[in-house]
Amino acid sequence: MNGRETRLARMNLVADQLIRHLEAMAENGRTHVFLDEEAKEGLRGLLRRRKQATPVAAEVIEAAPAVELAATSDSKPERLASLRKQAETWAPARQLGTLRETMVFAVGNPDARLMLVGEAPGYEEEKRREPFVGPAGKKLDDILKAMGLARNEVYISNIVKFRPATKNQTTNNRKPSREEMDACLPFVMGEIGIVKPACIVALGGTAAEGLLGLSGTVGSMRGSYRCVAADGTEFEAPIPEFVLSVPRSLH
């Protein structure tokens, strides 16, 4: 096998692995993936070189919403600010008609090694426009303190950037739908790509479902590790509201 044939063989192997991965994501209900323009062009070129590319993979790649990332020469805060501005008027989320108006983006250190991802803002978070405040936020702060960390040392975000709406809503909250998570997913994936944390903690089963397409109880997923974007590692942890409901003797 000559050099050109070797390169083509490797290219086909990479394409096969990519297609299988995208098909698995599609089977688990994932409808969007986050890709910057450079990655999109590279994948289009890769798929053009194959005579047979599966329709599912092509559809998933082309379905990715076009979130515009700031230039890599900009600072991390500037790039995150660009994402925040786009999220305010993000049509795929706004057009659903199932999310409230106030956007809650993220908070924390853009150079953090640890990133925490929840499911969606609730009543307290919407009121203060900051993730994980109120009783759940206090519990999270206590957990971080026990780990030797302060809140301003980590980066905290949610899969969904708006509080899921319900009829006659007051202080009650609901779990975001798969459609709502997919609509907002490009932003949290963009945040991962900018912050580049060493570790990503999904705070609960819904966050794990939104990030990786997983399903199941928190207990069944806790302790598992999986690779995600930006060369990070994800593991499952109980969401703070769940910890609050456990008797103190069991904490």
Domain ranges of the chain: 3-62, 76-250
Residue type, 240: P
Residue 167 has pLDDT above 70, yes or no: yes
Phi and psi based region of residue 29 (left: phi greater than 0; alpha: psi -120 to 50; beta: remaining): left
* CA distances to 22, 153, 188, 196, 246 from 34, in Å: 12, 26, 9, 15, 36
d(CA 136, CA 13): 46
Burial pattern 187-222, b for ≥16 Cβ within 10 A else e, equals: bbbbbbbbbbbeebbbbbbbbbbbbbbbeeebeebe
pTM for this entry: 0.67
The residue written with tokens 């995600």 in the block is: 228
Residue 161 has pLDDT above 60, yes or no: yes
Closest CA to 34 of 155, 194, 157: 194
> Is residue 187 classed as helix, strand or coil in its secondary structure?
helix
Greatest mean pLDDT among 21-30, 58-67, 78-87, 236-245 lies in 78-87
Mean pLDDT across the chain: 75
Determine whether domain 76-250 maps to CATH 3.40.470.10.
Answer: yes
Residue 237 has pLDDT above 60, yes or no: no
For residue 225, what are the β-bridge partners? Answer: 235
The pLDDT, as a whole number, for residue 64 is 42
Residue 68 has pLDDT above 70, yes or no: no
The pLDDT, as a whole number, for residue 60 is 37
* CA distances to 24, 80, 206, 225 from 27, in Å: 5, 31, 17, 21
Q: Please give the backbone phi and psi of residue 199, each rounded to the nearest 5 degrees, phi first.
A: -145, 135
d(CA 36, CA 109): 23
The pLDDT, as a whole number, for residue 169 is 87
